[in-house]
Amino acid sequence: MDTESFVLPVLEVINETSDACSVVFDLTPEAKDHFDYKPGQFLTLAVPSDETGLAARCYSLSSSPVGDQPLTVTVKRTVDGYASNWICDNLKAGDTVRVLPPSGIFTPANLDHDLLLFAGGSGVTPIISIARTALANGSGKIVVFFANRDEQSVIFAREWAALSAANPERLIVVHWLESVQGLPSLEQLKAFAANFTTYDAFCCGPAPFMKSVSLALRELEFPRERRHQEKFVSLGGNPFGDVEELQKAEQTLADADDHEDDDEVAVTGPVRLEVELDGQHYEFDDYPANQTVLDFLESKGVEAPFSCREGQCSACACLVLEGEVKMRHNEVLDADDLADGVRLGCQSVPLTEKLKITYNG
């Protein structure tokens, strides 16, 4: 994955609803080779801040990587959200924004699979990117459950209607309005999803909504490899700093942590590591026990996903298939994620002599 940031010109800022806008970027010649992306991925933007110099925030791409759609993220205002309000209030065509290349693993492994897509509010952003791309380059059926507060808050309402009209045999979009139907209950979500138990499920939205969807899919016995969730929190650190200096500082802290928590480290010698990533299989016999999965893979030239490097986003999330790891820090994975074996690669060090992980879903 690219660690270099790029200054991108803003082509247009589109008001989607009263509290959401889309930011359309142009790609400079220097950036063109660094912004290929998969549907469902996100960009990390540097928003100017009087207090810290900048605030780093992750926003999902709503555009599709197929066709001629320009690179676009969609941002919804949040209460007391400095970055989202600054973007919606101040950003305009002709401005520039410092941006990290695309990241994230909230993306279908196969666009030909049938897809069950749950979106709550602004969580529709990666969902519409997935839907647009699958309709263009895939062959499966797509069912969308889109929950919103009221009709006026529906982002991309016209786009969903146009996509449904153009693809009546493949796309079904169900709008759920809290103002009409109340919040969707676990039983209602379960009854809806029960019709599509062979589909690959993706969910993005507010935490309570995602929790309910996750429980519904679990009770319907959707296997872990067919359940996907996207999560973001506000980044506290600065992923735009000099990467080499940042890594040195992290390693210094890591060494201190290792010394402090020696009783938790179950292995001292090299670990055997197997990794599945982007359809590739890697095997290593020289993985040191005091190094994070991300740092080790980078040292081997493997482009593992990441963004914040601080355990504050899910860009580096992986699934532990065999063995155990210890996470030094975690602000985004909940108890259900941990029970499923999901871990953050940027924070995980091995506790067993053999470790097998996958980034593929």
Q: What is the pLDDT of residue 49?
A: 74
Same domain, 51 and 71: yes
In sequence order, the 6+-apart residues with CB closer than 8 A to the CB of 338 are none
End residue of a domain, out of 83, 103, 123:
103
Residue 348 lies in a domain: yes
The CA radius of gyration of the chain, in Å to the nearest whole number, is 20
Residue 1 lies in a domain: no
Looking from the CA of 86 toward its CB, the CA atoms found within 13 Å total 15
CA distance 297 to 148: 40
What DSSP character marks residue 289?
A: T
Three-state SS string over 23-60 comes to EEECCCCCCHHHCCCCCCCEEEEEEEECCCEEEEEEEE
Look up residue 116 and give its two tokens. Answer: 């069950």
> Three-state SS for 238?
coil
Same domain, 254 and 351: yes
pTM of the entire structure?
A: 0.78
Same domain, 252 and 350: yes
Same domain, 253 and 349: yes
215: CATH:
3.40.50.80
Same domain, 46 and 120: no
CA distance 176 to 181: 7
The strand pairing partners of 57, in sequence order, are 45
End residue of a domain, out of 183, 206, 230:
230
Residue 236 lies in a domain: no
Pairing of strands 20-25, 6-17: antiparallel
Same domain, 123 and 154: yes
Report residue 6: phi and psi, to 5°.
-135, 145
End residue of a domain, out of 48, 81, 103:
103
Of 28 and 2, which is predicted with more confidence? 28
Q: What is the pLDDT of residue 234?
A: 53
The CA-based angle 306-312-316, given to 5 degrees, is 25
Q: What is the pLDDT of residue 315?
A: 78
Q: What is the pLDDT of residue 262?
A: 40
How far is the CA of 213 from the CAs of 89, 191, 344, in angstroms? 33, 11, 22
30: CATH:
2.40.30.10
Cα 235 from chain centre:
13
Same domain, 263 and 341: yes
Q: What is the pLDDT of residue 254?
A: 43
- For residues 80 and 73, the answer to whether their CB atoms sit within 8 Å is no
Structural domains of the chain, count: 3
Domain residues for the domain of 331 are: 243-358
- Residue pLDDT, tens place only, 87-133: 999 999 999 999 999 988 889 989 999 999 999 999 999 999 999 99
Same domain, 268 and 210: no
Same domain, 58 and 137: no
Edge to edge, what strands does the sheet with 280-287 contain? 280-287, 271-277, 354-358, 317-322, 342-344
Q: What is the pLDDT of residue 106?
A: 87
- Please determine, for residue 251, whether its predicted confidence score (pLDDT) is greater than 50: no
Same domain, 127 and 92: no
289: CATH:
3.10.20.30
Identify the weakest region by mean pLDDT among 34-38, 43-47, 82-86, 311-315: 311-315
